[in-house]
């Protein structure tokens, strides 16, 4: 008999609070820029609000659907993601910006397929890992097939190019395989084989190489390659313990590039201070821990891998964003889940949380 318990209300509350805070901070960080660019200070606020409503609707639908239904969609969904990744290069359908082709436009709506591909890979791997069980230690059946699927996705991502999404997908896949029991020697071999290729991708591309040098010493070029991280440091530094107050930040006034997207956490640091940074970091940590607990309590392997993969993705993206804006990792465009402006990212994240809540509803034992 199907078990129907209570949802993990902590995960639900954290997702709602973070999303609502994100809508507020998107407005705070973008209103002046939106007024100058679009003659409408509410431009990004209105759009992010619509994305949030759509995301909440999908989350509500997903959390009330038995996650086992998703097993039948795992392969078709991944196949659809591959088609969308290829569609970004089609004239008239794909959109380019800043030298990258990462979006498609359907019915007047821009979609970033790489965000869907992250969820697609997790869903596929959860389904496949649960089905293989004892074969996971086999090189032929338990490692190489996933490397081939991953290589196909990375091929399209590197063509766009989107190295950040490619690395994220690679890390998620490897950790899920490790948790499933794949032999350590396979990981070490893969790392040895891919390290020269990764070095080539970074050091032979001018803007990526300059980002590495800027990360090592941003003060060598403070008005160009080091400008973004220096402005981010200034934002955190001027925020102090409790911040300058919501809406009172100065770095967003055309000093801090991408203030409402990749560097929104810097605006939070300036306006809400260390207290705000600490609370948001703690909220992400708690959400990931509750997600892992839901994975441990799931009644079947598919649910365990699915919940763990979603929790891992949210935690990894948050950690990388935190590290980038604080200068602990080289600058790379990667949205902060729930908080950064972006429709596909927010909607996909909330959909994933809905799936995670569905798993938590079926938890074994006394609940979580």
| Residue 118, CA distances (Å) to 113, 165, 170 in order | 9, 8, 10
> How crowded is residue 7: how many other Cβ atoms within 10 Å of its Cβ?
20
Calculate mean pLDDT across residues 176-186: 92
The alpha carbon dihedral of 289, 265, 240, 246 has a sign of: negative
pLDDT at 225: 83
**Which among 344, 347, 321, 345 is positioned nearest to 332, based on CA atoms?**
321
Calculate mean pLDDT across residues 308-315: 98
Calculate mean pLDDT across residues 174-185: 92
Domain boundaries, the chain: 9-361
The three-state (H, E, C) secondary structure of the chain, written as one string: CCCCCCCCHHHHHHHHHHHHHHHHHHHHHHHHHHHHHHCCCCHHHHHHHHHHHHHHHHHHHHHCCCHHHHHHHHHHHHHHHHHHHHHCCCCCCEEEECCEEEEEEECCEEECHHHHHHHHHHHHHHHHHHHHHHHHHCHHHHCHHHHHHHHHHHHHHHHCCCHHHHHHHHHHHHHHHHHHCCCHHHHHHHHHHHHHHHHHHHHCCHHHHHHHHHHHCHHHCCCCCCHHHHHHHHHHHHHCCCCCCCCCCCCCCCCCCCCCCCCHHHHHHHHHHHHHHHHHHHHHHHHHHHHHHHHHHCCCHHHHHHHHHHHHHHHHHHHHHHHHHCCCCCCCCCCCCCCCCCHHHHHHHHHHHHHHHHHHHCCCCCCC
Q: b/e map of 52-78 (b: 16 or more CB within 10 Å)?
A: beebbebbeebbeeebbebbeebeebb
Q: What is the pLDDT of residues 148-165, one digit of tens each?
A: 999 999 999 999 888 889
pLDDT at 214: 85
Q: Is the pLDDT of residue 325 over 50?
A: yes
Judge contact between 62 and 358, C-beta under 8 A: yes
d(CA 87, CA 99): 17
pLDDT at 4: 60
Calculate mean pLDDT across residues 296-318: 96
In this structure, of 38-42, 72-76, 90-94, 106-110, the range with the lowest mean pLDDT score is 106-110
pLDDT category at 208 given cuts 50, 70, 90 is: confident
Q: Is the pLDDT of residue 289 over 80?
A: yes
Q: Is the pLDDT of residue 366 over 70?
A: no
Q: What is the pLDDT of residues 246-275, one digit of tens each?
A: 999 999 888 888 899 999 999 999 999 999
Calculate mean pLDDT across residues 353-367: 82
Q: 90 vs 366, which has greater pLDDT?
A: 90
Q: Is the pLDDT of residue 278 over 60?
A: yes
Judge contact between 10 and 288, C-beta under 8 A: no
Q: 93 vs 351, which has greater pLDDT?
A: 351
pLDDT at 98: 66
> How crowded is residue 176: how many other Cβ atoms within 10 Å of its Cβ?
22
| Model confidence, pTM | 0.94
């Amino acid at each position: 008999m199907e078990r129907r318990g209570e949802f993990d209300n902590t995960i639900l509350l954290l997702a709602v609070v973070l999303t609502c805070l994100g809508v507020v901070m998107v407005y705070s960080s973008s209103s002046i820029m939106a007024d100058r660019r679009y003659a409408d200070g509410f431009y990004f606020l209105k759009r992010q609000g619509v994305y949030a409503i759509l995301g909440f609707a999908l989350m509500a639908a997903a959390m009330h659907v038995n996650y086992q239904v998703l097993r039948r969609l795992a392969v078709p969904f991944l196949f659809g993601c591959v088609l969308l990744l290829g569609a970004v290069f089609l004239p008239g359908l794909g959109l380019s910006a800043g030298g990258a082709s990462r979006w498609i436009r359907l019915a007047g709506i821009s979609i970033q397929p790489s965000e869907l591909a992250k969820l697609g890979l997790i869903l596929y791997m959860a389904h496949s890992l649960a089905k293989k069980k004892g074969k996971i230690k086999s090189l032929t059946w338990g490692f190489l097939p996933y490397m081939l699927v991953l290589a196909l996705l990375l091929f399209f991502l590197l063509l766009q190019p989107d190295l950040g999404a490619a690395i994220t997908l690679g890390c998620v896949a490897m950790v899920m395989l490790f948790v499933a029991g794949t032999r350590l020697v396979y990981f070490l071999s893969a790392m040895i084989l891919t390290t020269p290729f990764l070095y080539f991708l970074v050091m032979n591309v001018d803007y990526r190489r300059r980002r590495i040098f800027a990360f090592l010493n941003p003060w060598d070029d403070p008005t160009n390659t080091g400008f973004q991280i220096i402005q981010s440091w200034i934002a955190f530094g001027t925020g102090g313990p409790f911040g300058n107050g919501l809406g009172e930040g100065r770095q967003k006034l055309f000093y801090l590039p991408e203030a409402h997207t990749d560097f929104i956490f810097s605006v939070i640091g300036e306006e809400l201070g260390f207290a705000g940074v600490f609370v948001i970091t703690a909220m992400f940590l708690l959400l990931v821990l509750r997600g892992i607990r839901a994975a441990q309590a799931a009644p079947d392997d598919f649910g365990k891998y699915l919940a763990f993969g979603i929790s891992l993705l949210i935690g990894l993206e948050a950690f990388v964003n935190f590290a980038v804006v604080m200068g602990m990792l080289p600058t790379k465009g990667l949205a902060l889940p729930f908080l950064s402006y972006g429709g596909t990212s927010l909607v996909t994240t909330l959909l994933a949380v809905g799936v995670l809540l569905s798993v938590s509803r079926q938890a074994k034992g006394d609940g979580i």
